Homo-oligomer: A and B are copies of this chain.
Amino acid sequence: MAGTDRGREPILGGPAIILVEPQLGENIGAAARAMLNFGLTDLRLVKPRDGWPNPRAKALASRADMVIDNARLFDSTAEAIADLSRVYATTARQRDMSKRVATPAEAADEMRAAYQAGATCGVLFGGERAGLHNDDIVLADTVLTVPLNPAFASINLAQAVLLIGYEWFQTGGIEPASVTGSREAPPASKADLVHLFEHLEDELTESGFFDPTPGKKPVMVRNLRNMLQRAGFTEPDVRTLRGVIKSLAQGRRRRSGVGDAASKDGEDA
């Protein structure tokens, strides 16, 4: 369907599309096209297999090369989503994780409302072969699953991006929701949350919380992160929790020479 009106300004903005360990440059290019079809321009790449920049991505992107040129490269999913306050993880297979599941239409409505309230969002997509790692999904607030024929539920990366973009674009005509609700504090950024996780896990490691059986600690860490992620903490909540952890682990007044409270940067409530 060829119908581009070259005189018009592209529609810009909207959720970040984060491709985690994508493999083929062609698929990154096709994803960029699908993004721009629906006005999405914030492309982020976590460890693309064939390095970056990738000439095959640019070739496939064709006139969506502005999305490719502005793509940002990250070493980890946590870094790629650090500035976002709401993150969705697209999965096809069922995962053993107690996390909210949304359809693209639901996610688009939620993201549009979040943008109208000044928050930023992103959607994680896994690599072509295996999808997202569980450790990436843990960092997301919500799992996003496209309803598909269960007997033939395999769609490619660009198609998954296309459907999310399509639903996002559909919500564009919606009038801003009335802002009469309770004045909520801003949601914590993913960077704040990851610092909270790491602070807690460091202290729990030191206090002997984790089961020393090999393989147990990662599972316990994932469960803790899932639980704290689900809680939907705000920025002030996270500051308070860091103070709580610091106080429990170190005490306000250090009572011994062991441990150095000053080395922890959790703020007091």
Contacts and interface: CB of A to CB of B under 8 A. Distances in A.
B5 A151 contact: yes
A88 to B, nearest CB: 13
B151 A247 contact: no
A230 B237 CA distance: 11
Interface stretch (A18-26, A46-54, A74-82, A177-185): A177-185
A249 B247 CA distance: 9
B209 A98 contact: no
Contact of A248 (B101, B158, B231, B245): B245
Interface string A217-238: 0001001100100111100010
A176 interface: yes
B176 A5 contact: no
Contact of A148 (B38, B153, B200, B249): B38
B249 A256 contact: no
Given A1-B160, A143-B178, A256 B256 contact: yes
Q: Which of A105, A156, A169 has most B Cβ within 10 Å?
A: A156
A252 B251 contact: yes
Contacts of A91: 1, 3, 178
A4 B152 contact: yes
Tally of this chain's copies: 2
Interface string A108-130: 00000000000000000010011
A251 B148 contact: no
A152 B37 contact: yes
Given A5-B153, A178-B145, A223-B240, A183 B98 contact: yes
A36 interface: yes
A267 to B, nearest CB: 12
Contacts of A129: 2
A168 to B, nearest CB: 11
A148 B175 CA distance: 9
A100 to B, nearest CB: 6
A177 B94 contact: yes
Given A163-B163, A227-B233, 9 more contacts: A1-B92, A2-B129, A3-B131, A93-B178, A95-B178, A147-B175, A159-B162, A224-B244, A248-B249
17 contacts: A1-B90, A1-B92, A1-B155, A33-B152, A37-B155, A99-B182, A103-B176, A147-B169, A147-B175, A155-B162, A158-B159, A159-B162, A207-B254, A208-B247, A209-B248, A209-B269, A248-B252
